[in-house]
Amino acid sequence: MDMTEARLYTKEQDRKVTCNLCSFRCRIANGKKGICGVRENRDGTLYSLVYGRLIARHIDPIEKKPLFHFQPGSRSYSIATVGCNFRCLHCQNYDISQMPKDEKRIIGDVVSAHDVVDEAYRTGCASISYTYTEPTIFFEYAQDCGRLAKDRGIKNVFVTNGYMTKECLDELKGILDGANVDLKSFKEDFYKKICGARLSPVLDSIEYMREMGIWVEVTTLVIPTLNDSEEELRDIARWIYRIDRNMPWHISAFYPAYKMTHIKRTPREIIDRAREIGLEEGLRYVYTGNIPGDPGESTYCYRCGKVVIERYGFAVTKNLVKDSLCPYCDTEIHGLW
C-alpha cells in the first residue's frame, strides 16, 4: 500500500512532476517529496506514501470536530495518516502531523478502505471524519473510503486547514458532505510565520465548498498576542457574514503546545468577547470552544433566543430541534440534521 500512485498531478520534463492536490502546487524533482512529506516522485511518477496507513482511528462525537450543526449527537468514525502540508508552530497533534518532517519516517497500521467503512458501519457511526492531521494529504485514501461510505449511507467530513485546490474539491463532489475549516487568522503575515502558508487559498476554499453545497463550519483558535485583537476578530466575523451569516463560527481557546509552549492559554474573557463580536456582526451561530460549561457551547434560536441544543463539552445533553425548526417559534435552525 505504500506504493499507491497519487492522483491530481501532472508529469513534467526531466522526470519532474507537479502536484495539484493543495495550493502549494509543489514541483517535485525525481527522488524528492512534496512539502507534506508524504508524496514522493519516483522516476517521474508521483506516489502517496500513506495510502491505507492509519496512524489514528477512533469513534468520536461529531461535536469534537467541531461540527455543531451536522448530525448533532451522532458518532463519527475518525481516521488519520501521518503528515501535513502546514507546519503550524502550535499544532496539538504535531507528533503525527509533523512526523515525516521532524522524524523522517512514516508509520501506520495497514487498513483497507473497505475495512474502514465496514468498521464505521458496524459501530453505528453516521459519518467518517478525516481528521487529526490534514486530510488533503491522504486524499486518495479519503476519496476511496468516501465513495464506499456513500454506498452504505454514511456521510463524509473533512476537518481541514482548507488549503486544497479547486481540482481536489471537484474530485470530492458528491462525496464530501461537511467540513470544519480552520481559519487560523485574517492576516497573511500570521499564516506565513506561524503556518508556513497563505491566507487567501483558505478563504477561496471555504467559499467554493459553500458553492458546492458542502456544509461548512469555521474554527478560529485564538492565540494571545498573535490573533486576539478585536479588530482581527471583527474582520473574520465580517468576512463570514459576507459569505453566509448562517455558517457557524467556533472560537477556541489556545493551550501551549509544540513550539509555542512559551505562550499562555487564552483567557476565558477573550473567548467570550470574541463570541460577542461575532454576534454583534450579525452571525447567527457563534460558539466558544475548549471551555466546558460555557453558555457559548449551546445553540440558540437567533430569533427567539431560546436554547434549542444544549451541550456540555462534546456531549449533547438536550436537542429540541425537529425538522430543522425551533420548537418555540418555528424558525429554521440551519444545518444538516
**Per-residue pLDDT tens digits for 76-112:** 999 999 999 999 999 999 999 999 999 999 999 999 9
In a shared domain, residues 256 and 168: yes
In a shared domain, residues 76 and 166: yes
Count of Cβ atoms closer than 10 Å to residue 280 Cβ: 11
Could you tell me if residue 167 is left (phi over 0), alpha (psi between -120 and 50 degrees) or otherwise beta?
alpha
pLDDT (tens digit, 9 = 90+) per residue, 257-275? 999 999 999 999 999 999 9
Q: What is the pLDDT of residue 2?
A: 60
Average pLDDT over residues 104-122: 97
Q: Is position 200 within any domain?
A: yes
In a shared domain, residues 85 and 121: yes
In a shared domain, residues 168 and 239: yes
Q: Taking CA 324 as the corner, what is the angle to CA 330 and CA 67, rounded to the nearest 5 degrees?
A: 130
**DSSP assignments along 67-136, one per residue:** -SSBSTT-EEEEEE-S--S---TT-TTHHHHSHHHHT-----EE--HHHHHHHHHHTT-SEEEE-SS-GG
In a shared domain, residues 19 and 84: no
10-44 per-residue burial string, b: 16 or more CB within 10 A, e: under 16: eeeeeeebbbbbbbbebebeeeebbbbbbbbbeee
Beta carbons of 111 and 54 less than 8 angstroms apart: yes
Beta carbons of 59 and 78 less than 8 angstroms apart: yes
Residue type, 138: F
pLDDT (tens digit, 9 = 90+) per residue, 212-221? 999 999 999 9
In a shared domain, residues 222 and 320: no
What mean pLDDT, rounded, does the chain reach? 97
Cell triple for residue 24?
Answer: 502549494
In a shared domain, residues 34 and 110: no
In a shared domain, residues 242 and 258: yes
Structural domains of the chain, count: 3
Torsion angle, alpha carbons of 186, 187, 192, 198, to 10:
60
In a shared domain, residues 39 and 92: no
Q: Is position 268 within any domain?
A: yes
Determine the 3-state secondary structure of 43 from DSSP. coil
Beta carbons of 35 and 85 less than 8 angstroms apart: yes
Q: How far apart are CA 143 and CA 116, in angstroms?
A: 12
| 8-state DSSP, 294 | -
In a shared domain, residues 316 and 199: no
Q: How far apart are CA 92 and CA 229, in angstroms?
A: 22
* Residue 1 clears pLDDT 60, i.e. is over it: no
Q: How far apart are CA 229 and CA 259, in angstroms?
A: 22
For residue 30, give its domain range. 4-48
Cell triple for residue 259?
Answer: 513550539
Q: What is the pLDDT of residue 3?
A: 81
Average pLDDT over residues 225-253: 98
In a shared domain, residues 259 and 183: yes
Q: Is position 80 within any domain?
A: yes
Q: Which residue has the higher pLDDT, 2 or 66?
A: 66
**DSSP assignments along 1-32, one per residue:** -TTEEPSSEEE-GGG-EEE-SBTT--EE-TT-
Provide the percentage of residues in the chain whose pLDDT is more than 70: 99
Q: Is position 30 within any domain?
A: yes
In a shared domain, residues 29 and 125: no
Q: Is position 22 within any domain?
A: yes
Q: How far apart are CA 57 and CA 220, in angstroms?
A: 24
Q: Is position 136 within any domain?
A: yes
Q: Is position 69 within any domain?
A: yes
Q: Is position 337 within any domain?
A: no
Cell triple for residue 207?
Answer: 467559499
Cell triple for residue 113?
Answer: 478502505
